[in-house]
Amino acid sequence: MIAIVDYGMGNLHSVKKAFDFIGAESEIVTEPAAIDAAEKIVLPGVGAFADAIDTLQKKQLVNPLKQAIEDGRYFLGICLGLQMLFDISYEDGQFPGLGVIPGQVVRFDLSDLPDHAELKIPHMGWNALNIKGDIPIYQGIENGSYVYFVHSYYVTPTDNAVIATTTTHGCEFVSSIARNNLFATQFHPEKSQRIGLQILKNFANL
């Protein structure tokens, strides 16, 4: 069973509907015990970084999530669920993350680019993936495939080996990561139509 973690800040039902569509068994969960029992975990998220981390802590979900990753269970973070895996975020201040992946979360700064006036922040809409190597969740996905983004911040890993894809919006940024059993995307696969459904199917089939 795939546990979709509900901490009050995610596109839960869109993610659940996407898994239902591909025939993958999933359940929206709120309790630490449900995460402990899950075969795979999905951590979605939209909203403010600091509020999300605070809510995870108050609901006592931080340790079960980190333990699941350490145990080798397959884990998928989506959007804010990617960013929270990192050490620190500079969204509206400076806030510690879960510290699973070394690195930072920073805001787009396109002010030095000659065409910056044409580029909007948040980065919203469809953009292409540059896939780096043989990544299990991208099996059957062509390099350059388009997926759907909504974000103003992006991750900067300390170790480039975790970079699974990059995307360009004024600058080249990390649009997903992969490390062993852990995968996380800045884009929303549940909103990315055929390509996104294939990514979720690949994850479900791991």
- Residues involved in catalysis: 79, 188, 190
Contacts of 115 (CB under 8 A, 6+ apart): 170
Task: Give the torsion sign (CA, 92, 183, 148, 29).
Answer: negative
Contacts of 39 (CB under 8 A, 6+ apart): 1, 2, 73, 74
How far are the Cα atoms of 7, 14, 52, 78, 180 from residue 10, in angstroms, in the given order? 7, 9, 10, 9, 24
Contact 162, 177 (CB under 8 A): yes
